């Protein structure tokens, strides 16, 4: 079984086993997990074969957006990443086009459509992630009747996937606290207000011109919700990437990976490779290492990673090679990923021949950015329904920014409904802008001069919004200009006659693991260096010899571990104390855990001869087919759709549309010449019977 049995951050709950069958074979899932996770845990990652070309199908988004993960559950096609495993459910792969389920014509003829219930509510919030919950809390505080709907089985959105401590402001957005714990806090606060109702497993299907929102309540009952104001906090969906082999099972989104590993505690791979050096890709690599998965490498097409440097450095120090100015050339394998080929790129981002290298891996994560899920907001505006958006649905940024924008939007919504919320401080808008800001300037590292006593060394040298280190020092020795938390913190040796006591609180709280503490008090020649470490405490033990590295991940030497400290106050951050020569003690920023041979390339690179770069996953339309039409002068995506079936599949064009635009760009066609297809509801596929009240036989709304 491929389950995570131990994790340095996440508790492993005791869950009941749920028997089910796959192709008639008995299997066991765990209570509350999705079918896709139960199948992955059992080592199954091919969920069927496409009707058009027989290509193997697996998951891509694990978020209900792409429909790649269809299986038959008791004969009915379902998205396995959204459907919970039920005792005795018979799960079958979708091989080609499945047969329609048998319908008793006489019974169907007698069936009567049930009336559709209408629910009126002052505020409907679509999405119970960081922004939606924060808005709900502000609305709850003011007694505004609010309904929060979320299509998942639990609240928190992407927060529930984040094991690392958060950046941002400790005052405004719980910086220094782990994402999973922020989710719990926001949820319990939102639930504490009687005016806030929450529907889980309830997806918004569409916003209609009569300003109603169609909602599939708990996946079975269709309800019309009529809000006075709509707040869209539905987050983001992952961007896809076009390259040969891009739809092989084993190629999937970084968010899908985090869902499998951190939410469902499944170990879906032994060796993975990552495409994309933004925060999502860098963090996914870190989460993989925490789960005991080898990270063979990461490619980023730009000369620098776009994510926070502290995230990049953390990964590099742990032993993951980061190939900037490189791209993925192909994912290779017959029915699933067996290797990846990468190459350096030239100034026009084209692969340079002769620089190809291949690596053995079974999984390739795509982390090339996010697109806002904003279709509900746009439709609401089009139809004159008062609407607001917050979090990634408004603008892609960190979850800390989503928490704060949700707070502000909650107040704005309350004000739009006539509640007196007073003036929303301009400082709040400024804080929101700061939290949203991209990483700023990188400065040379400032190594402190002294070589005596004890003091922290701050290995954080890029301006990002983050301040927890300034709040924990008992003698307030770490300072920052509080008017802008993007500025770098600095350490002052003494204040009010008090200096550093060596308490290590700054070491433990830094979300970037970018503070060490160097202590010369016992031995000035071989000072002790306290290094933060977020892995299982028995990964290292006193007496071990480890390779230590500088901030950027360059090895400094081998040193002996003196102690491995686990303190409750450090909230699962282990402190490893190494003894190091004074020549490089202050330069130590981390400890390598992954051996270099993990990332050795294959002796020969693997070429992929077939041009099977897929643009439309659902209908298996290749880049070549669409490119041909563009070259023939086609500018209307509707025409491409009519000729090739691009974007006519079950994902509702969510996955392929940005890729089609990209092909136009590559062919030199300006955006202004492209005629887009209309964005029509429904935005999620549902069985037609739902609109007639089918599937709701067991009544009882169970609403919370």
Binding site for ligand FES (CB under 6 A): 59-69, 79, 81
Smallest distance, Å, CB 197 to ligand FES?
A: 27
Angle, to 10 degrees, between the axis of helix 279-290 and the axis of helix 309-318? 30
Distance between CA atoms of 250 and 413, rounded to whole angstroms?
42
Name which of 83 and 313 has its Cβ closer to ligand FES. 83
- CA–CA distance, 219 with 198 (Å, rounded to integer): 14
Nearest 5°: the CA angle 522, 527, 531 is 120
CB closer to ligand FES, 78 vs 198: 78
Of the pair 18, 66, the CB lying nearest ligand FES is at 66
How many Cα atoms within 13 Å fall on the side-chain side of residue 480?
23
- In the complex, the smallest distance separating the C-beta of residue 405 from ligand FES, rounded to whole angstroms, is 26
Query: What is the smallest separation between the CB atom of 434 and ligand FES, expressed in angstroms?
Result: 34
Residue 157 C-beta: closest distance to ligand FES, Å: 16
Shortest distance, CB of residue 70 to ligand FES, whole angstroms?
Answer: 8
Q: Which residues of 286-299 are buried (b: 16+ CB within 10 A; e: fewer)?
A: bbbbbbbbbbbbbb
Residue 615 CB, nearest approach to ligand FES (Å): 16
Question: What is the nearest approach in angstroms of ligand FES to the Cβ of residue 67?
Answer: 5
Q: Pick the closer one to ligand FES by CB: 62 or 580.
A: 62
Q: Return the SS3 of 364.
A: strand
> Shortest gap between Cβ of 5 and ligand FES (angstroms)?
25
Residue 58 or 132 with smaller CB distance to ligand FES: 58
Q: Which C-beta is closer to ligand FES: that of 64 or that of 132?
A: 64
Residue pair 647/660 in contact (Cβ under 8 Å)? The answer is yes
d(CA 625, CA 183): 44
- Provide the 3-class DSSP secondary structure of residue 340: strand
Nearer to ligand FES, 67 or 339 (CB): 67
> From residue 519, how far is each of 266, 446, 582 by CA, in Å?
40, 18, 10
Is 80 or 613 the residue whose CB approaches ligand FES more closely? Answer: 80
Whether the CB-CB separation of 533 and 575 falls below 8 Å is answered with yes
| Residue number with CB closer to ligand FES (65 or 327) | 65
- DSSP H stretches of helix in 174-258: 179-191, 254-258
Spacing of C-alpha 548 from chain mean position = 29
Cβ at position 696, least distance to ligand FES in Å: 23
Contacts of 537 (CB under 8 A, 6+ apart): 8, 564, 566, 574
CB nearer to ligand FES: give 39 or 137. Answer: 39
CB of 78 to ligand FES, least distance (A): 10
**For residues 186 and 684, which CB has a smaller minimum distance to ligand FES in the complex?**
684
What are the tokens at 600?
């050795």
615 φ/ψ angles, rounded to the nearest 5 degrees? -100, -50
The distance of closest approach from Cβ of residue 32 to ligand FES in the complex, given in angstroms and rounded to an integer, is: 17
Q: Using an 8 Å Cβ cutoff, are 615 and 621 in contact?
A: yes
CA dihedral 592, 594, 597, 602 (to 10 degrees): -130
Give the residue among 464, 466, 471 at the shortest CA–CA distance from 443.
464
Residues with Cβ within 8 Å of residue 154, at least 6 apart in sequence: 160, 200
What's the first-to-final CA gap in the chain, in angstroms? 35
Residue among 79 and 164 whose Cβ is closer to ligand FES: 79
Tell me the β-bridge partners of 533. 574
Q: Rounded to an integer, what distance in angstroms lies between the CA atom of residue 34 and that of residue 29?
A: 8
Name the minimum Å distance from CB 249 to ligand FES.
11
CB of 60 vs ligand FES, minimal distance in Å = 5
Choose between 35 and 131: whose C-beta lies nearer to ligand FES.
35
Q: Helix, strand, coil proportions of the chain in percent (round to 5)? A: 25, 25, 50
């Amino acid at each position: 079984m491929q389950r995570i049995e131990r994790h340095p951050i996440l508790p492993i709950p005791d869950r009941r086993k749920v028997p089910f069958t796959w192709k008639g074979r008995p299997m066991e899932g765990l209570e509350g997990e999705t079918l896709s996770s139960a199948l992955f845990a059992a080592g199954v990652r091919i969920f069927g074969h496409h009707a058009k070309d027989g290509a193997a199908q697996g998951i891509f988004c694990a978020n209900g957006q792409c429909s790649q993960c269809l299986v038959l559950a008791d004969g009915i096609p379902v998205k396995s990443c959204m459907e919970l495993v039920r005792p005795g459910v018979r799960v079958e792969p979708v091989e080609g086009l499945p047969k329609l389920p048998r319908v008793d014509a006489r019974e169907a003829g007698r069936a009567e459509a049930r009336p559709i219930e209408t629910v009126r509510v002052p505020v409907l919030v679509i999405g119970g992630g960081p922004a939606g919950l924060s808005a709900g809390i502000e609305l709850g505080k003011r007694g505004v009747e609010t309904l929060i709907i979320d299509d998942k089985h639990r609240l928190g959105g992407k927060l529930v996937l984040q094991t690392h401590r958060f950046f941002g402001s400790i005052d405004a957005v719980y910086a220094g606290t782990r994402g999973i714990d922020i989710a719990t806090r926001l949820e319990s606060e939102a639930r504490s207000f009687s005016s806030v109702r929450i529907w889980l497993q309830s997806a918004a299907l569409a916003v209609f011109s009569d300003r109603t929102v169609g909602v599939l309540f708990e996946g079975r009952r269709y309800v019309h919700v009529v809000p006075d104001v709509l707040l869209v906090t539905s987050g983001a969906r992952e961007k896809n990437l076009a390259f040969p082999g891009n739809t092989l099972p084993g190629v999937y989104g970084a968010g899908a990976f985090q869902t499998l590993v951190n939410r469902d505690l499944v170990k879906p791979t032994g060796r993975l490779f990552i495409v994309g050096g933004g925060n999502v890709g860098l963090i996914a690599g870190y989460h993989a290492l925490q789960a005991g998965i080898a990270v063979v490498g990461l490619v980023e097409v730009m000369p620098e990673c776009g994510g926070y440097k502290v995230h990049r450095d953390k990964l590099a120090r742990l032993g993951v090679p980061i190939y900037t100015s490189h791209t993925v050339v192909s994912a290779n394998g017959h029915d699933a990923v067996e290797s990846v080929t990468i190459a350096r790129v030239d100034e026009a981002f084209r692969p340079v021949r002769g620089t190809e290298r291949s690596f053995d891996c079974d999984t390739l994560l795509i982390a090339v950015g996010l697109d806002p899920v904003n279709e509900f907001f746009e439709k609401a505006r089009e139809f004159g329904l008062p609407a607001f958006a917050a979090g990634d649905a408004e603008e892609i940024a960190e979850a800390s920014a989503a928490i704060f924008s949700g707070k502000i939007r909650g107040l704005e919504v309350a004000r739009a409904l006539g509640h007196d919320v007073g003036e929303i401080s301009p400082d709040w808008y400024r804080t929101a802008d700061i939290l949203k800001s991209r990483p700023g300037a990188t400065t040379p590292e400032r190594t402190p001069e002294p070589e005596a006593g004890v003091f922290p060394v701050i290995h954080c040298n890029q301006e990002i919004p983050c301040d927890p280190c300034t709040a924990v020092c008992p003698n307030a020795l770490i300072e920052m200009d509080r008017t802008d938390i993007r500025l770098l913190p600095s350490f002052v040796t003494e204040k009010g006659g008090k200096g550093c006591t060596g308490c290590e609180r700054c070491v433990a709280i830094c979300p970037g693991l970018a503070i060490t503490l160097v202590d010369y008090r016992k031995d000035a020649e071989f000072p002790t260096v306290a290094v933060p470490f977020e892995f299982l405490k028995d990964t290292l033990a006193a007496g071990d010899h480890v390779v230590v590295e500088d901030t950027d991940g360059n090895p400094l030497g081998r040193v002996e571990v003196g102690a491995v400290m686990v303190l409750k106050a450090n909230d699962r951050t282990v402190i490893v104390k190494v003894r190091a020569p004074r020549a490089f003690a202050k330069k130590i920023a981390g400890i390598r855990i992954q051996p270099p041979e993990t990332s050795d390339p294959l002796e020969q690179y693997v070429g992929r001869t077939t041009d099977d770069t897929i643009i439309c996953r659902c209908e298996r339309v290749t880049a070549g087919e669409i490119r041909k039409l563009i070259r023939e002068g086609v500018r209307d995506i509707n025409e491409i759709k009519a000729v090739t079936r691009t974007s006519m599949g079950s994902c509702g064009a969510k996955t392929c549309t940005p890729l089609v635009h990209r092909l136009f760009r590559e062919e030199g066609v300006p955006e202004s010449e492209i005629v887009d297809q209309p964005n029509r509801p429904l935005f999620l596929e549902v069985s037609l019977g739902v609109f007639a009240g089918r599937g709701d036989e067991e009544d009882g709304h169970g609403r919370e």
